[in-house]
Amino acid sequence: MLELKNVQTFYGNIQALKGISLQIAEGEIVTLIGANGAGKTTTLMSVCGIVPPRAGEIYFEGQPIHHMPANKIVSLGICQVPEGRRIFPYLTVLENLDMGAFLRNDKAEIKRDLDYVFSLFPILAERRNQAGGTLSGGEQQMLAISRALMARPRLLLLDEPSLGLAPLVVKQIFEIIRKVNSENKTTIFLVEQNANLALKVAHRGYVMENGKITMTDTAANLMANEEVRKAYLGI
Amino acid sequence: MFNVKELKKSILVSLWFMFLTFPIMVIKVNTIYKTIEWRWSRMAWVGVGSFFLSFVWRALLRKKEMGMKQAEEGQEQKVPLTQKLIHDKRFSRPALVIICAFALIYPLVFSLYQVNIMTTALIYVVVGLGLNIVVGLAGLLDLGYVAFYAVGAYSYALLNHHFGIGFWTALPIGAAMAALFGIVLGFPVLRLRGDYLAIVTLGFGEIIRLVLENWNEFSFGPSGIANIPRPGFFGIQMNLHQVHTYIYYLMIGMTVFTIFVVRRLQDSRIGRAWMALREDEVACQAMGIDKTKTKLSAFALGATWAGMGGVVFAAKTTFINPASFTIWESIIILCIVVLGGMGSIVGVICGALILILLPEYLRAFSEYRMLMFGAVLIFMMVFRPGGIISDVRKVYQFKGLNETTKDQ
Ligand SMILES: Nc1ncnc2c1ncn2[C@@H]1O[C@H](COP(=O)(O)OP(=O)(O)O)[C@@H](O)[C@H]1O
Ligand SMILES: [Mg+2]
């Protein structure tokens, strides 16, 4: 469904991605783990077109998207939940969700998706008229995920959804991620520093270091791998 | 409240003020007789005045702090009175009718002078609402907004001078020219935000003014363009009084039109994109909002109203020169938006009326205008940081299960 071929991305003169190649098949949950500064966020930004790659190719369902503007890519069915949530703090919860459906016109379907995300996160329904910035960290993450779901993406990109959240909330959010994947067949590309959690929900994983992919395998094999265990699982 | 500590503080403040103002308020040198007049009574006034003002000032501050504490303690925050009134239909409907009636009979009741300054104020309302799109909704700080006003005014003046084009044809042309310049400015500043954007737009405004001042062949330089015709009305000859009344009604119509369009824009898809862009650019892009198009449309649509205002301004004064389009104008328009309440239509209208009409009625104090301006701004910053009428956005009402049960 998504394929990256030797993608190289720069911030000015600094090369953040040094030739990334990876594949994601439809219906999968694939995780990308790595230390801080490895280039995980940059990988997602390159896929989304927010920080377009300087070299290499990205294909979504066979179609090249590496030269497309960000808004075109979203309209193809790729939506990102950015790192640090980035909800709109002064818009209400409903308005935030509405922004997620910005490119859609089908009112009835939007309403249905709204009910769906409210069923996933009932707390958001209670807070619907509250400003996004007044929500707790966990609720903001739920809102960020729901906002992305409102775009009805076929490929959902999640950037460190566990960042700075209490373990119980993280558990809840990861359950929802799994549920969205199994119920809607939404393909999920999950970026995480918390390798333990990520490998538990994912089918396959990639390990990233200094802008390069160093390892790839099924999640179970990565969990069992000695190096991964030492470097990322702290065992 | 009236404890000794507070009294002491106020006495200190008043002593300090008496000391500070001593040289300018008390001593007066009579240069003819070479004598010095000591006007001690003035010192007493300063002392008493600053004593009371400092008292009131601190009382207000305390009240404000108490209000904030209440809000922090999680109590239901009181809806401000102004907003309650605006949203209460029983009040707002009659108020609207009265305001409309007043606006319509205004020229019949008041003198030509009054009608004239009200027309000026209405031009600022329209221009302020335009800037409100850029600053209030899209959050792009534009300090060179007057450039678009100048573009509109000069479009009409020059087109009329060279080709004899009339007011009604020039109005859309001036608006389109301003929108074009809005896009021209928008392109280079697409990546800028906040302070950097403010500096570049400030430079842009000055460039336009300097070009108008120095390019004599094109714009007739500092001497400006005179004899710009006033708007016509199916070729009917009108005397001065009639023509000013006519421009007044024209501005009323334009104001209503502006309010209508800006309201529609606010609730539209592009309006929501502006508000989202103001808050988080990366998130906007992740949601599929075209950043370039959204920003440029804010610049272009904001500039359009300045262009129309400029055309009317040129037609009303019949004479324009670059001195009418200094940075000071930009600042006044920005003050209208900020003082009135960013993003709020009613607020911007109030801001324009207050900031333009007040100085006219306070002509007697014209030398202290700047002083009062500063004082008002500081007061606003401290007590109403959101503006006179802060932005209340429409809140979506989805009647879900919880809400209906709550209502019953
Ligand atoms: N906006 C930026 N400007 C310059 N360098 C950046 C920027 N964002 C990230 N980088 C650099 O790119 C590299 C990868 O960063 P990032 O993708 O954020 O890593 P991760 O998400 O894995 O923590 C880091 O070395 C970081 O310093
Ligand atoms: Mg990151």
Which residue, chain included where needed, has tokens 């198009």? Answer: B293
Of A187 and B375, the structure prediction assigns the larger pLDDT to: A187
**Domain-embedded: residue A228:** yes
Instruction: Kindly indicate the confidence band of residue B8, based on its pLDDT and cuts at 50, 70 and 90.
Output: confident
pLDDT of residue B404: 35
Nearest to B396 among A95, A125, A151 (CB): A95
Which pairs from A19-27 meet CB under 8 Å and 24+ separation? A19/A56, A19/A212, A20/A46, A20/A56, A20/A208, A20/A211, A20/A212, A20/A213, A21/A213, A22/A206, A22/A213, A22/A216, A24/A155, A24/A187, A24/A189, A25/A1, A25/A187, A26/A1, A26/A154, A26/A185, A26/A187, A27/A181, A27/A185, A27/A187
- Sorted by sequence, the CB contacts under 8 Å of residue B96 that are 6+ apart come out as none
Mean confidence (pLDDT) of chain B: 83
Return the ligand number nearest the Cα of A42: 1
Ligand 1 touching residue A34 (CB < 6 A): yes
In this structure, are A117 and A172 located in the same domain? no
How far A196 CA lies from chain B's nearest CA (Å)? 27
CA of B6 to the centre of ligand 1 (A): 54
Chain length of chain A: 235
Mean confidence (pLDDT) of chain A: 92
Q: pTM for the whole thing?
A: 0.81
Instruction: Kindly indicate the confidence band of residue B69, based on its pLDDT and cuts at 50, 70 and 90.
Output: low
Yes or no: say if B336 and B352 are a contact pair by the CB < 8 Å rule. Answer: yes
Residue B1, pLDDT > 60, answer no
Ligand 1 touching residue A105 (CB < 6 A): no
Ligand 1 touching residue A36 (CB < 6 A): yes
What tokens appear for B209 in the block? 């003014």
**Test site for ligand 1: of A42, A163, A208, most ligand atoms within 8 A of the Cβ:** A42
A163-202 b/e (C-beta count within 10 Å ≥ 16 → b): eebeeebbebbbebbeebbeeeebbbbbbbbbbebbbebb
Which pairs from B83-92 meet CB under 8 Å and 24+ separation? B83/B389, B83/B390, B83/B392, B86/B346, B86/B389, B86/B392, B87/B392
pLDDT of residue B76: 46
Instruction: Kindly indicate the confidence band of residue B400, based on its pLDDT and cuts at 50, 70 and 90.
Output: very low
Range from A53-62, B127-136, B347-356, B387-396 carrying the lowest mean pLDDT: B387-396
- A177/A179 Cα distance (integer angstroms): 5
In this structure, are A165 and A225 located in the same domain? yes
Query: Which residue among A151, A183, A198 closes a domain?
Result: A151
Given phi > 0 = left and psi -120 to 50 = alpha, else beta, which region is B154?
Answer: alpha
Q: Which residues pair with B250 in a beta bridge?
A: none
- B69/B75 Cα distance (integer angstroms): 9
Q: For residue range B199-220, list pLDDT tens digits in order.
A: 999 999 999 999 999 998 888 8
- Determine the residue type at B46: V
Q: For residue range A17-36, list pLDDT tens digits in order.
A: 999 999 999 999 999 999 88
Write the DSSP symbol of residue B143.
Answer: S
Query: Which residue among A101, A118, A151 closes a domain?
Result: A151
Of B84 and B149, the structure prediction assigns the larger pLDDT to: B149
How far A231 CA lies from chain B's nearest CA (Å)? 31
How far B285 CA lies from chain A's nearest CA (Å)? 6
**Domain-embedded: residue A82:** no
pLDDT of residue A208: 93
Nearest to A89 by CA among A26, A143, A44: A143
Nearest to A149 by CA among A77, A91, A95, A203: A77
Span A138-151, average pLDDT: 93
CATH number at residue A26: 3.40.50.300
Range from A5-14, B12-21, B142-151 carrying the lowest mean pLDDT: B12-21
A15-35 b/e (C-beta count within 10 Å ≥ 16 → b): bbbeebebebeeebbbbbbbe
In this structure, are A164 and A215 located in the same domain? yes
Nearest to B288 among A74, A92, A114 (CB): A74
What tokens appear for B25 in the block? 């308020």
CA of A37 to the centre of ligand 2 (A): 7
Total domains in chain A come to: 2
Domain ranges of chain B: 4-72, 84-383
CA of A16 to the centre of ligand 1 (A): 6
Cα angle value B184/B343/B314 (rounded, 5°): 50
Q: How many CB atoms neighbour CB B193 within 10 A?
A: 14
Nearest to A99 among B272, B290, B402 (CB): B272
**Domain-embedded: residue A83:** no
Q: For residue range A178-197, list pLDDT tens digits in order.
A: 999 998 899 999 999 888 88
Q: For residue range B92-126, list pLDDT tens digits in order.
A: 788 888 888 888 888 888 888 889 999 999 999 99
Yes or no: say if A207 and A35 are a contact pair by the CB < 8 Å rule. Answer: no
Instruction: Kindly indicate the confidence band of residue A231, based on its pLDDT and cuts at 50, 70 and 90.
Output: confident
In this structure, are A163 and A182 located in the same domain? yes
In this structure, are A194 and A183 located in the same domain? yes
Return the ligand number nearest the Cα of A84: 2
Ligand 1 touching residue A16 (CB < 6 A): yes
Q: For residue range B235-286, list pLDDT tens digits in order.
A: 677 788 888 899 999 999 999 999 999 999 988 889 989 999 988 889 999 9
In this structure, are A181 and A73 located in the same domain? yes
pLDDT of residue A230: 84
Nearest to A79 among B280, B284, B286 (CB): B286
Interface touch B282/A86, C-beta < 8 Å = yes
The interface predicted TM-score (ipTM) is: 0.88
Interface touch A102/B275, C-beta < 8 Å = no
Span B388-408, average pLDDT: 45
- Determine what percent of chain B is predicted with pLDDT higher than 70: 87
In this structure, are A59 and A109 located in the same domain? no
- A147/B284 Cα distance (integer angstroms): 11
- Determine the residue type at B181: F
The ligand 1 atom at the shortest distance from the C-alpha of residue A34 is 22
The residue whose C-alpha atom lies closest to atom 5 belonging to ligand 1 is: A11
In this structure, are A124 and A169 located in the same domain? no
Of B138 and B373, the structure prediction assigns the larger pLDDT to: B138
DSSP code per residue over B205-269: HHHHHHHHHH-HHHH-GGG-B--PPPPPSTT----HHHHHHHHHHHHHHHHHHHHHHHHHHHHSH
Span A209-219, average pLDDT: 92
- B116/B317 Cα distance (integer angstroms): 10
Ligand 1 touching residue A42 (CB < 6 A): yes
How far A113 CA lies from chain B's nearest CA (Å)? 14
pLDDT of residue B392: 54
* Chain B positions with Cβ closer than 8 Å to A: 269, 272-273, 275-276, 279-280, 282-291, 393, 395-396, 398, 400, 402
Total CB pairs under 8 A between chain A and B:
85
Residue B301, pLDDT > 90, answer yes
pLDDT of residue B397: 41
pLDDT of residue B371: 75
pLDDT of residue B91: 79
CA of A34 to the centre of ligand 1 (A): 13
Set of chain A residues whose Cβ sits within 8 Å of the Cβ of B296: none
Set of chain B residues whose Cβ sits within 8 Å of the Cβ of A103: 287-288
Span A51-68, average pLDDT: 94
pLDDT of residue B100: 87
Residue A61, pLDDT > 50, answer yes
Yes or no: say if B295 and B190 are a contact pair by the CB < 8 Å rule. Answer: yes
- A78/A182 Cα distance (integer angstroms): 18
Q: For residue range A105-129, list pLDDT tens digits in order.
A: 888 999 999 999 999 999 999 998 8
Sheet holding A187-192, edge to edge: A78-81, A155-159, A187-192, A29-34, A204-209, A212-218
Yes or no: say if A87 and A96 are a contact pair by the CB < 8 Å rule. Answer: yes
Interface touch A98/B291, C-beta < 8 Å = no
pLDDT of residue B407: 36
Interface touch B290/A69, C-beta < 8 Å = yes
Ligand 1 touching residue A38 (CB < 6 A): yes
Residue B401, pLDDT > 60, answer no
In this structure, are A157 and A226 located in the same domain? yes
In this structure, are A69 and A158 located in the same domain? yes
Domain of A128, in residue numbers: 88-151
Backbone CA torsion sign across B322, B327, B332, B333? positive
The residue whose C-alpha atom lies closest to atom 11 belonging to ligand 1 is: A16
Q: For residue range B320-361, list pLDDT tens digits in order.
A: 999 999 998 898 899 888 888 777 888 899 889 888 887 777
Residue B405, pLDDT > 70, answer no
Q: For residue range B118-148, list pLDDT tens digits in order.
A: 999 999 999 999 999 999 889 898 999 999 9
In this structure, are A67 and A14 located in the same domain? yes
Query: Which residue among A130, A151, A172 closes a domain?
Result: A151
- Give the domain B84-383 fold: ABC transporter involved in vitamin B12 uptake, BtuC (1.10.3470)
Residue A74, pLDDT > 80, answer yes
In this structure, are A180 and A209 located in the same domain? yes
- A29/A203 Cα distance (integer angstroms): 5
DSSP code per residue over A7-72: EEEEETTEEEEEEEEEEE-TT-EEEEEE-TTSSHHHHHHHHHTSS--SEEEEEETTEE-TTS-HHH
Residue B408, pLDDT > 80, answer no
How far A171 CA lies from chain B's nearest CA (Å)? 24
Yes or no: say if A232 and A192 are a contact pair by the CB < 8 Å rule. Answer: no
Instruction: Kindly indicate the confidence band of residue A70, based on its pLDDT and cuts at 50, 70 and 90.
Output: very high
**Domain-embedded: residue A192:** yes
